[in-house]
Structure 1
Amino acid sequence: MDVFLSERITKKGLLYPIIGLVVCMTVINISFGGFGTHDKESQKRFVRTEGTQFIINGEPFYVNGWNSYWLLTQSVEERNMIRITAMFESAIAMGLTVCRTWAFNDGAYNALQVSPGRFDERVFKGLDRVIVEAQRHGIKLLLSLSNDWSDFGGKIQYAKWAKEAGLNPNTNSNDSFFFDPYIRGYFKNYLKTIITRRNHLTGIEYRDDPTIFAWELMNEPRCESDPSGRTLQHWIEEMASYVKTIDKKHLLTVGLEGFYGPSSPHKFKFNPTEDSKNLGSDFIPNSEVADIDFTSVHIYPDMWLPANKSLPEKKRFVSNWVISHIKDGEQVLKKPVLFTEFGLSAKRNSISYSQRDEFYKHIFDLIYNSALQKGAGAGSFIWQLFVDGMDEFSDEFGVVPKKRPSLYWLLKVQSCRLAKVSHVEKWEWFPSLFRSEKDSVWRAAEVYC
């Protein structure tokens, strides 16, 4: 062997381990952000709370969001993903930041949970795709985990499963969802399964994915069989605590409509009807639960108030309703308040599109005024948005934004206003957008947005 060849072998013998070490360190650095920095950066992308505000990346975060409950059902067939993409693209064009959608479908067509503890992987992969598509568009998701209503199964399906299994005679009541130990076990199993789900596209468990804004225990929980509110209160405490043992990174809310119950008789005047206090939900104690990070309220004067109420009367109710709950967040709960559903029917009482716009603008102004004062009013979610070719998913509140230019602009202007309050950099190039107040703000925003 000549000397030159011997030197090459010696250098290679030293070089290969060094190259291997460098490659290994590079892979680790790319994968984990440089020995600990990745986890810190990832944590910044999760929304958290500081008092009555949401915080992300160290800045206040005010939500202009929307409801599209149908994302899961559409995601099952990959060919329908074009609708989800179109919805997200429409949303980001309006500056919307969070979508509230169902992460449940119990025992129905294309069910996620076919029967207690048995899940359809095909449907779960659809939900995986929804999360990835949301992340790709910079949208966060508020995922609701059950329903008080029969749509897509909900508590009625759980009670039916328990009854069919012959587990407990109490399952004659759908409210057994809240107190029957077997059904509570069903639901806890569901919670654990979905929260620890590993996305087949990213390899990330849902509980580790900052694309998820928060979990919502249930859409509009009521327990009318116990108007004292104690049954629902105990259920919220138990389920909230259980979720937090599995997932400490994400925020958690209940999913309340906001009705004041027996603990707050001085607040009954804000309820839409006399019977509202007897629905088994109780806004203050339900929201005070330690493991509940923020509270939610819905706004449906069409559904709640007598049919003969005029639009000005509905707006007065909304003002009192919204301001009362914001004050609760600030003075009692010390938590953010999200108005996660609001709508005005296009069919009832011959309400015109311009009147609906007036109603929506009224809500947006209330939220914006709270944001300006760093109050607890942290955002709102219009019910509901969809895209062309989805008439079967619509209702008397549904809107295709591009078909309603005036509402499209209302949503976009609200996004501009809240982004400015949140100090979002991409809106900083609007040089004089927010120098004026009230209606002039809307006119300025329409120019610059």
Structure 2
Amino acid sequence: MPQHAAVPAGAARHLSLLAVAALIAATAAPGAAAYEYMVGANAYWMPFQATAGDTGNVDTVLDSLQRLGVRLVRTWAFGPDIPYAPGKYSEDSLKGIDYVVAGASKRGMRVLLALGNFWNAYRGPETWTEWAKAAGGGSAGWTGDVVDFYRDPTARRLYKDHLSYMLGRTNTLTGQRYASDPAVYGYDVLNEPRCPGCDPSALADHVSWLREMGSFVESTVSSDIMVLAGTEGFFTPQASESGLVSKNAGAGAGCEGEDVLQITKLGPFDALTAHLYWRHMEHMKSLNWAKPGLELYVDWLDSKLELYTDMAGGLGKPFMTEEFGLTQRFFDAEQRKVVYAVLLSHLVQSKQRGLAFTSALFWNSAHPGWDDGSGYDIDVTRSPTGKTVDLGNPPPAPKQPGGSGSNTSPATPRRTLMHQPLPRRAGPPGGARALAEADGGSNPQDILDAYRRGVARAACAQAAADGWDLTQPGARVDTAAWKARVAGVELVDIIAEAAALLK
């Protein structure tokens, strides 16, 4: 396991929230931990384009990321034919991954590889369940949904075989074995491992699955490679030790079946990981069933970054924002620059103070010819102008409640509405508005369908909605001041400035 700030032997997996708080002071002082700080980028599409023969665009984006100072690239180490049957892999597709890893290494960057996906895109858990059924599994019974993936011993064995195959592979371009390749920064055992609307028994299986797969990867890879859970940063009421459900982005987040504190405490995992998006914000009762706008979201984001940083530091582990971004389907380019500036300013300040927030990977780096329709793509081939926004010295917090928000709901002065409010919808029995609609700005393939327990998650969210409210972050960020700073500055300038300050 990579070395981080020290905690007493065996304590990391048993710390209560009070113990976490007690350790924060010990980890907050400058120089308290020998962390490595960096800006990273997601580029999930790279292996697919490399396999298709479009290595030119892969090289162009890698060159551009290198020019910006990005040092970490996250991508997928799975796909439609990785594998296409148990133990059977497309060599051409594997060589696509080889190409990306070798290309990043050649440019002085490292890679973070996700070994599987909760979502249906490219290779979802339902495939492993189907293969387990064909192989005679079912000793634990079948639920007909993602719980089978976490619970069934045969499905577990097949997925572990996949992990073993991928980690045991040798890169055809570098000769490096993936389990010990210096170019590999870390592995996600699964991207976004949810268990939506799951009961306590299924949640126990979910945690057991993460522990088993994490332990297997930990026992296989070299000690300088990070083992990560790929979590998004939710809190559940079932993991009552956290007591942090009101810190979620909405009532439904507590129904995702992932408690980031509980999972990060598991021995195999080397960092707290989170994926931070406005789309996770939900329609809230106190907002007359609207979603928060930019100002409230940015205040919430600021408070959440602080919470994760303190929590990870207390556990003696780093905190990584594996994914963040703002979709242009709902927000404009200036608002997106504000979100990037606020988050990367946090990262820069974390380095200045020796805190546990160590890396932030934006979603999604792209070239001019790439557009997946989500609104998150960043054309990283644009040349930076050299302008800066002083990320190491953020504007002071607003003095007045409500901060700089100009589109505040008159009924709730501290809360803001989305700049293009969604139509209000009739609520189901009990008064809670429907929370099961697709997240704004999400990938069209990231759908909570029947296999991913969408109905159970919706029922859980609706039951929780009327009694849940967001913990008010207060006026923490001067959004207007940040808007003024980022005006006339390219998004690639903000990324390049952060990378330079983290060297």
TM normalised by structure 1 equals: 0.76
Q: For 1:19-418, what aligned pairs fall within 5 Å after superposition?
A: 48-51=2-5, 60-77=35-52, 79-105=53-79, 108=80, 111-165=81-135, 167-168=137-138, 170=142, 172-228=144-200, 229-249=203-223, 250-261=225-236, 262-263=238-239, 264=241, 266-306=243-283, 308-331=291-314, 333-348=315-330, 351-391=331-371, 393-403=372-382, 406-418=490-502
Q: Residue type matched to 1:409 in 2? A: D
Amino acid at match of 2:181: D
What do the CA deviations read for 1:151-176 (whole angstroms, capped 9, x no partner)?
A: 01121221233345553251621221
C-alpha separation in 2, matches of 1:227 and 1:198: 41
Greater RCO structure (CA 8 Å; 6+ sep): 2
* Deviations 1:77-114 (CA, angstroms, capped at 9, x unpaired): 3x311111111101011100000100011xx2xx2211
Q: CA, structure 1 residues 302+171, in 2 after alignment: closer, same or farther (shift >3 Å)?
A: closer
Q: Taking structure 1 as reference, are residues 387 and 125 closer, same or farther at Cα in structure 2, changes over 3 Å only?
A: same
Shift of 1:227: 4.4
What's the CA shift string for 1:191-218, capped at 9, x where partnerless? 0100010122222211121000001111
Provide the identity percentage.
Answer: 24
The answer to whether the 8 Å contact 2:195/2:256 transfers is: yes
Distance in 1 between the 2:34 and 2:297 partners? 34
One-letter amino acid matched to 1:302: R
Is the Cα–Cα contact under 8 Å of residues 51 and 93 in structure 2 kept in the other structure? yes
Q: How many residues align?
A: 360
Alpha-carbon RMSD: 2.0
Q: Where does structure 1 lack aligned partners over 5 or more consecutive residues?
A: 1-46, 420-449
Partner of 2:343, secondary structure, is helix
Aligned-residue offset at 1:248 = 3.1
Structure 1 residue identity aligned to 2:147: D
SS at match of 1:65: strand
Q: Distance in 1 between matches of 2:143 and 2:370?
A: 36
* Contact in 2 for aligned 1:270/1:324 (Cα 8 Å): no
In structure 2, what is the equivalent of residue 423 of structure 1? none
Structure 1 pair 370–205 and aligned structure 2 pair: CA distance change class (3 A)? same
Q: Hey, what's the Cα distance between the residues in 2 that align with 1:338 and 1:287?
A: 12
Q: Larger helix proportion, structure 1 or 2?
A: 1
State the distance in 2 between where 1:173 and 1:360 align.
36
- Please tell me whether the aligned partners of residues 227 and 278 of structure 1 are also in contact (alpha carbons under 8 angstroms): no
Shift >6 Å, 4+ stretches: none
Task: Return the alpha-carbon distance in structure 1 between the equivalents of residues 383 and 334 of structure 2.
Answer: 10
Does the Cα contact within 8 Å between 2:35 and 2:318 map onto a contact in 1?
no
Tell me, in whole angstroms, the C-alpha distance in 2 between the residues paired with 1:227 and 1:404: 50
| TM-aligned CA deviation for residue 308 of structure 1 | 3.5
Give the corresponding residue for 2:482. Answer: none
How far apart, CA to CA, are the structure 2 residues paired with 1:152 and 1:379? 26
Report which of the two structures shows the higher radius of gyration computed on alpha carbons.
Answer: 1
| Structure 1 residue 50, shift from structure 2 partner | 2.1
Q: If the length of structure 2 is used for normalisation, what is the TM-score?
A: 0.68
What is the alpha-carbon distance in structure 1 between the residues aligned to residue 93 and residue 179 of structure 2? 18
